[in-house]
């Protein structure tokens, strides 16, 4: 069971959280202007990296807030967690930046 640091509440066990998938996929402001291809990319395509992954978590059995995290999907260690709306922090060796 992971320990996850909620930016609002601090470090808590994984059981208090729900995973929310890849982060920083903003819903298009006007979906009607997107082609089917673009819309499918938004809906379904995911980076799914082996390595650092920016992802959403929700402290569902706590403050209820969504927040973002960068986690190494190979080791499952978190590098950083940050509030929703903040940009992905600079991390050395982060190829996605």
Partner 1 sequence: MTNRFRTPSGGRIDRSAPVSFRFDGKTYSGYKGDTLASALIANGVHLLGRSFKYHRPRGILSAGSDEPNALVAVARDAARVAPNLRATQVELYEGLSAESQNRWPSLAFDAGAINDLAAPFLPAGFYYKTFMWPAGAWKRFYEPKIRAMAGLGKAPTLPDPDRYTQNYAFCDVLVVGAGPAGLAAALAAAESGARVILCDEQAELGGSLLAEVGATIEGKPAQAWLADTLASLSKHENVTLLPRTTAFGYFPHNMIALAERVSEHLAAPDHDLPRERLWQVRATEVVIASGAHERPLVFPDNDRPGVMLADSGRTYVSRYGAKPGDRAVIFTACDSGYRTALELKAAGVTIAAIADLRPQLHGELPSRALAAGIDVRPGTVVTGTSGRLRVSSADLAKVSGGAVGRSETIACDTVLMSGGYTPSLHLFSQSRGKLVWDAASGSYLPGTSVERERSAGACRGVYGLNAVLEDGYAAGEAAAKAARDTASPQRGATPVNGASSRSFKAEAPDLGNDGFIGATPHNRNPAFAKAFVDWQNDVTSKDIKLATREGMRSIEHMKRYTTTGMATDQGKTSNMNALGIVSEALGTPVPQIGLTTFRPPFTPTTFGIFAGEARGDLFDPVRKTPIHDWAAEHGAAFEDVGLWKRAWYFPKAGEDLHAAVARECKAVRASVGMFDASTLGKIEIVGPDAAEFMNRMYTNAWAKLEPGRLRYGVMLREDGFVMDDGVVGRMAPDRFHVTTTTGGAPRVLAHMEDYLQTEWPDLDVWLTSTTEQWAVIAVQGPNARAVLEPLVEGIDLGKEAFPHMSVREGRICGVPTRLFSVSFTGELGFEVNVPAEYGRFIWEAIHASGERFGITPYGTETMHVLRAEKGYIIVGQETDGTATPDDVNLGWAVGKAKKDFVGKRSLARASMSAPDRKQLVGLLTTNPATVLEEGAQIVADPTAPVPVPMLGHVTSAYHSAVLGRSIALAVIKGGRARIGQKLSVPMPGSVIEVEVVEPMFYDPKGERLNA
Partner 2 sequence: MQKFSGLELLRRALGGHKSWQPQWRNPDPKPEYDAVIIGAGGHGLAAAYYLAKEHGITRVAVLERGWLGGGNTGRNTTIVRSNYLFDESAALYEHSVKLWEGLSQDINYNVMYSARGVLMLAHNIHDVQSFKRHVHANRLNGVDNEWLTAEQCKEFCPPLNISSMRYPILGGALQRRGGTARHDAVAWGFARAADARGVDIIQNCEVTGIRRGADGAVEGVETSRGFIRTKKIGVSAAGHTSVVMAMAGVRMPLESYPLQALVSEPVKPAFPTVVMSNTIHAYISQSDKGEMVIGAGTDAYTSYSQRGALHITTHTLDAICELVPQFRRLRMLRNWGGIVDVTPDRSPIIAKTPVPGLYVNCGWGTGGFKATPGSGNVFAHTIAKDAPHPINAPFTLERFRDGFLIDEAAAAAVAH
Chain contacts with partner 1 (rule: CB under 8 A): 1-3, 5, 11, 13, 18, 20, 26-27, 30-32, 34, 36, 39, 43, 56, 58, 60, 64-66, 75-78, 84-85
Half-sphere exposure of 42 (CA within 13 A, CB side): 15
Structure tokens at 72: 């190494």
Site string for partner 2, 47-66 (x = CB under 8 A): xxxx--x-x-----------
Exposed/middle/buried for residue 72 (C-beta within 10 Å: 0-12, 13-18, 19+): middle
Structure tokens at 55: 């992802």
Between 2 and 11, CB nearer to partner 2: 2
DSSP 74: T
Shortest Å, Cβ 90 to partner 1: 18
Shortest Å, Cβ 78 to partner 1: 6
């Amino acid at each position: 069971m992971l320990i996850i640091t909620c930016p609002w509440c601090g470090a808590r066990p994984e059981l208090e959280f729900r995973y929310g998938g890849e982060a920083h996929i903003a819903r298009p402001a006007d979906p009607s202007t997107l082609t089917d291809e673009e819309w499918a990319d938004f809906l379904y395509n995911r980076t799914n990296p082996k390595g650092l992954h920016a992802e959403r978590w929700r402290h569902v059995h706590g403050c209820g807030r969504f927040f973002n995290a960068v986690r190494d999907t190979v080791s499952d260690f978190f590098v950083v967690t940050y509030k929703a709306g903040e940009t992905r922090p600079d991390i050395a060796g982060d190829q996605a930046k």
